[in-house]
Amino acid sequence: MQRLIPVLNSDHVPLHLISVINTLLTAAKEISHRLHQGSLAGTLGSTLDENIQGETQKKLDIVSNQLIKNMLLETNLVHAVASEEEDDVVMGNPDAKYLVAFDPLDGSSNIDINGSVGTIFTILEKPDHAAEGKELFLQTGDEQIAAGYILYGPSTMLVMTTGKGVRAYTLDHTVGEFLLTVEKLEIPKTTQEFAINMSNQRFWAEPMKHYIADLLSGSEGPRAKNFNMRWNAAMVSDVHRVLTRSGIFMYPADCKNSDKPCKLRLLYEANPMSFLVEQAGGRSSTGYERIMSLQPTDIHQRVSVIMGSKEEVDECLGYYKKIPCTRFDSP
């Protein structure tokens, strides 16, 4: 089984970019170790703080953020980082060209129940035009040069792309290295499995309500087949299932909280996951637009997400085309 770095070398990924990815993985190995230790490491539970998005921060959110941020900045290869747990971008080496945005610990409500969580990352280059601070990161998903996630599940896996397909690696704890375990991840075009937080049903817009109602009516409904539902409440592990065996993952806009019609963040959640899904032959949309074509206006911007098996996402998007949306504009 091949190690990560020779695989990236054979794809002609620049050496400095390989070093940035490798640094992310060094931090991920440490996070994996701490998660594995659970209560023994004394890092379970919440802090008294909230992040800029008003979410309570878990101790491991903070620890993971510090580890990734500090290690990346120490490389001197990173111009700036943006994180879910940082209000503003943090500047690094003014002469470096890489920008890294990350969600240090996605699905962190799973930490205290010993469930799967993940780290999501995306790497961009400093734009040619003069840009400073958060403006640096306001690039479309199509500008990403590498993206991926580390899933901390029963095994720790890296799933990543540099725009030449999607590979999966598994952390071999005995040698402390990520070894290539899937050469090419491809999402089957059709599926009978969907992932959505059903408790938000009454807050969804009409197209999503009708689409899910038709899935639930199964073989007796217009789709004429039964669907199964799965929801791990951690985007990394829900999308990992879709990448592994098909499915459609959705976190659509809803009217539960008018200040926050969408839950997932464009820059460090939706864009990197969309890059992986498209590279694996799937589709990713807000319901109205391709996610990776959106021009971001803020680093913590939220977006409606529908991604996964191509034909199933197209089925869902058909409802957005034919059913007028009364409560939401295109996010």
The Cα–Cα gap between 58 and 309 comes to 33
Task: With beta carbons less than 8 A apart as the criterion, state whether 268 and 141 touch.
Answer: no
Query: Looking at beta carbons, which residue is closest to ligand F6P?
Result: 235
**Residue number with CB closer to ligand F6P (19 or 200):** 200
Contact with Mn ion (CB under 5 A) among 106, 193, 238, 312: 106
The Cα–Cα gap between 93 and 97 comes to 9
233 binds, among ligand F6P, Mn ion, none (CB under 5 to 8 A by kind): ligand F6P
Determine, following the binding rule CB under 6 A, whether residue 302 of this chain makes contact with ligand F6P. Answer: no
CB of 107 to ligand F6P, least distance (A): 4
β-strand pairing of 193-195 with 248-251: parallel
**Residue number with CB closer to Mn ion (226 or 257):** 257
**Interaction with Mn ion in 262-281: which residues (CB under 5 A)?**
none
CB of 263 to ligand F6P, least distance (A): 6
Cα 285 to chain centroid distance, Å, stands at 14
Determine, following the binding rule CB under 6 A, whether residue 180 of this chain makes contact with ligand F6P. Answer: no
CB of 237 to ligand F6P, least distance (A): 8
Contact window for ligand F6P (CB under 6 A) among 29-37, 146-154, 227-235, 311-319? 227-235
Task: Annotate each residue in 230-259 with x if it binds ligand F6P (CB under 6 A) or - if it does not, as one string.
Answer: ---xxx--x------------x--------
Determine, following the binding rule CB under 6 A, whether residue 56 of this chain makes contact with ligand F6P. Answer: no
β-strand pairing of 98-106 with 78-83: parallel
**Interaction with ligand F6P in 257-276: which residues (CB under 6 A)?**
263-264
Query: Strands of 156-161's sheet, edge to edge?
Result: 90-91, 78-83, 98-106, 117-125, 146-152, 156-161, 167-172, 177-182
Return the amino acid letter for 250.
M
Task: With beta carbons less than 8 A apart as the criterion, state whether 122 and 144 touch.
Answer: yes
Determine, following the binding rule CB under 6 A, whether residue 106 of this chain makes contact with ligand F6P. Answer: yes
Determine, following the binding rule CB under 6 A, whether residue 28 of this chain makes contact with ligand F6P. Answer: no
Contact with ligand F6P (CB under 6 A) among 37, 197, 257, 293: 197
**Residue number with CB closer to Mn ion (106 or 193):** 106
The residue written with tokens 């206006």 in the block is 297
The Cα–Cα gap between 265 and 84 comes to 8
234 binds, among Mn ion, ligand F6P, none (CB under 5 to 8 A by kind): ligand F6P
Contact with Mn ion (CB under 5 A) among 103, 193, 254, 312: 103
**Residue number with CB closer to ligand F6P (26 or 47):** 47
Contact window for ligand F6P (CB under 6 A) among 25-33, 67-75, 127-135, 228-236? 228-236
Give the residues lining the site for ligand F6P (CB under 6 A): 106-107, 197, 233-235, 238, 251, 263-264
Give the residues lining the site for Mn ion (CB under 5 A): 103, 106
